[in-house]
Amino acid sequence: MEQRRADAIAEELEELIFDGTFSDGDRLDEVRLAERFRVSRTPLREALQRLARSGLVELIPRRGAFVRQPGPVELMEMFEVMAEVEAVCGRLAAVRISDSALADLHDANQKCQAAVDCQNSETYYIENERFHKIIYKQSGNSFLETETGNLHRRLKPFRRQQLRLRGRMAQSMAEHRSILEALESGDPEAAAVALRGHVAIQGEKFHSLMVNLKKASA
């Protein structure tokens, strides 16, 4: 059983928030949620605190827990930081990466390409993630690796929609290749620039998505 109770509940709640069951600003009633998950308030409160830690809910003392989806501005900020942090990973990895990791990157990239050819966005998504996680690890800094992974995870639900944009996967592949080249030639600045651009463009794509969404709803 362990403490997994709170952990499992936190994950389920996360899903419910992403699914839109609870939307921004909603108050999360402890009692009702406790009934829903068939647990007492104690583990549920711990789950809420876990979510507060990752920024998904805001805990206001004596008032309750409120769903706090990051707004467009904050999302852009997070994408900007993601781009910079990945650039850092790239710069460090360029001089620290192992040969076997380079081989793994090639492998992930080839599978990405195969996914593009098959129009299989699910596989592409998975291999793309593997590609990036290899770079995090090869930064040779496990603290950086963990923190970058956390931010990556937080942005996951927002990055996913972009794959549907026409031509995005092909463009992304080209960027991957230049990243790989920079890493292979051991050029820190080139790797940093390539990765920064690669991730930053996701933020911009996301931005235009938001704008179009607004236009559509107006």
Q: Which residues bind its own copies (CB under 8 A)?
A: 2-4, 42, 45-46, 49-50, 53, 59, 61-62, 74, 77-78, 80-81, 84-85, 88, 91-92, 141-144, 147
Q: Could you tell me which of 204, 201, 189, 205 has the C-alpha nearest to residue 87?
A: 189
Binding partner of residue 101 among DNA, its own copies, none, CB cut-off 5 to 8 Å per kind = none
CB 3 → its own copies: shortest distance, Å? Answer: 4
- Angle, helices 121-138 vs 142-159, to 10°: value is 160
Binding partner of residue 197 among its own copies, DNA, none, CB cut-off 5 to 8 Å per kind = none
CA distance 138 to 97: 5
Binding partner of residue 88 among its own copies, DNA, none, CB cut-off 5 to 8 Å per kind = its own copies
- Kindly tell me which of 55 and 186 has the beta carbon lying closer to its own copies: 55
Q: Residue type for 132, please? A: H
CA distance 185 to 102: 11
- Kindly tell me which of 5 and 96 has the beta carbon lying closer to DNA: 5
Binding partner of residue 147 among its own copies, DNA, none, CB cut-off 5 to 8 Å per kind = its own copies
136 and 149 Cβ atoms separated by less than 8 Å? yes
- Kindly tell me which of 58 and 107 has the beta carbon lying closer to its own copies: 58
The contact set with DNA (CB under 7 A) reads 1-6, 27-31, 38-43, 45-46, 59, 61-65
Q: Could you tell me which of 95, 77, 88, 97 has the C-alpha nearest to residue 155?
A: 77
Q: Residue type for 34, please? A: A
Q: Could you tell me which of 64, 69, 68 has the C-alpha nearest to residue 28?
A: 64
CB 2 → its own copies: shortest distance, Å? Answer: 4
